[in-house]
């Protein structure tokens, strides 16, 4: 089965087909609509044959449907019939959840996406749970206000980094993951990562899109060295406490 994996962002949309190596991309933006998405994807995917479509969407998704309109795109996403227009089965999840699924290497993983906001998801025993932790209260506002792009621009890199470390510590204590994957575009601004963290990769979103149809994350990856190292760091910290 050929899967067309689509990762929708505020400035670009990237697509990748099962078995292909290089993704293709096109611009999005504040006037970008779902009808435009379908039209542009059809052109961009010329020469590719796909049976199903996976979509990573930059807003909360429930039961394959966006629950709100995305902040950085146009309107009409909530009531759009994606399967009818694409002409094949379509699965949609939050974009952070799709990257989380593609980043999973076994055990219990917390994914935090450091981007415009704070994306979040947990994968435990190969089951994905999409979260909205960025909206929880933190200090005088929310986690997203401090570790998202607004916090970086307002407070500067040094304070933003401090808030990232605090966020990871608090969420680790609450959720008890074996390891944390830090993804999103701003993770590259961290020269060092908090304890028990490993860096993510935006390209993992495509892997997540493929896994949405293939079943659970690859169980053969449980012994990944980076995961084992992060898991040991978590256990060591819990023991010290």
Superfamily of domain 98-240: ATPase, nucleotide binding domain (3.30.420.40)
Is the per-residue pLDDT at 64 higher than 50? yes
Q: Which fold has domain 3-94?
A: Nucleotidyltransferase; domain 5 (3.30.420)
d(C-alpha 165, C-alpha 102), whole Å? 23
Is the per-residue pLDDT at 104 higher than 90? yes
Q: What percent of the chain is helix, strand and coil (3-state, nearest 5)?
A: 40, 25, 35
d(C-alpha 199, C-alpha 222), whole Å? 17
Structure tokens at 63: 């039961």
What is the predicted pLDDT for the residue at 229? Answer: 61
Phi, psi of 118 (to 5 degrees): -130, 100
Residue extents of the structural domains in the chain: 3-94, 98-240
Averaged pLDDT score across all residues of the chain: 90
Confidence of residue 230 (pLDDT cuts 50, 70, 90): low
Does this chain's domain 3-94 share its CATH topology with 98-240? yes
Q: Which residues of 16-30 are buried (b: 16+ CB within 10 A; e: fewer)?
A: bbbeeeebbeeebee
Mean pLDDT of 41-66: 95
What is the predicted pLDDT for the residue at 146? Answer: 97
Is the per-residue pLDDT at 217 higher than 80? no
What is the predicted pLDDT for the residue at 10? Answer: 85
Give the percent of the chain with pLDDT over 70.
89
Confidence of residue 226 (pLDDT cuts 50, 70, 90): low
pTM of the model: 0.84
Is the per-residue pLDDT at 178 higher than 90? yes
């Amino acid at each position: 089965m050929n899967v067309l994996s689509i990762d929708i962002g505020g400035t670009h949309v990237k697509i990748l087909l099962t078995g292909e190596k290089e993704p293709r991309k096109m611009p999005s933006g504040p006037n970008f609509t779902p009808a435009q998405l379908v039209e542009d994807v059809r052109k961009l995917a010329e020469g590719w044959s796909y049976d199903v479509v996976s979509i990573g969407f930059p807003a909360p998704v429930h039961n394959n449907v966006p629950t709100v309109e995305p902040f950085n795109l146009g309107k009409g996403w909530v009531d759009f019939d994606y399967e009818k227009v694409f002409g094949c089965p379509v699965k949609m999840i939050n974009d952070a959840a799709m990257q989380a699924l593609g980043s999973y290497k076994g055990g219990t993983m917390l994914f935090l996406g450091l981007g415009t906001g704070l994306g979040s998801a947990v994968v435990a025993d190969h089951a994905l749970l999409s979260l909205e932790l960025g909206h929880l209260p933190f200090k005088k506002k929310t986690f997203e206000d401090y570790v998202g792009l607004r916090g970086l621009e307002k407070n500067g890199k040094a304070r933003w980094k401090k808030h990232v470390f605090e966020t990871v510590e608090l969420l680790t204590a609450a959720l008890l993951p074996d390891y944390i994957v830090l993804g999103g575009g701003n993770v590259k601004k961290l020269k060092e990562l908090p304890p028990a963290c490993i860096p993510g990769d935006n390209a993992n979103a495509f892997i997540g899109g493929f896994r949405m149809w293939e079943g659970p994350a690859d169980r053969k990856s449980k012994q990944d060295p980076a995961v084992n190292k992060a898991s040991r760091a978590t256990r060591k910290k819990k023991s010290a406490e």
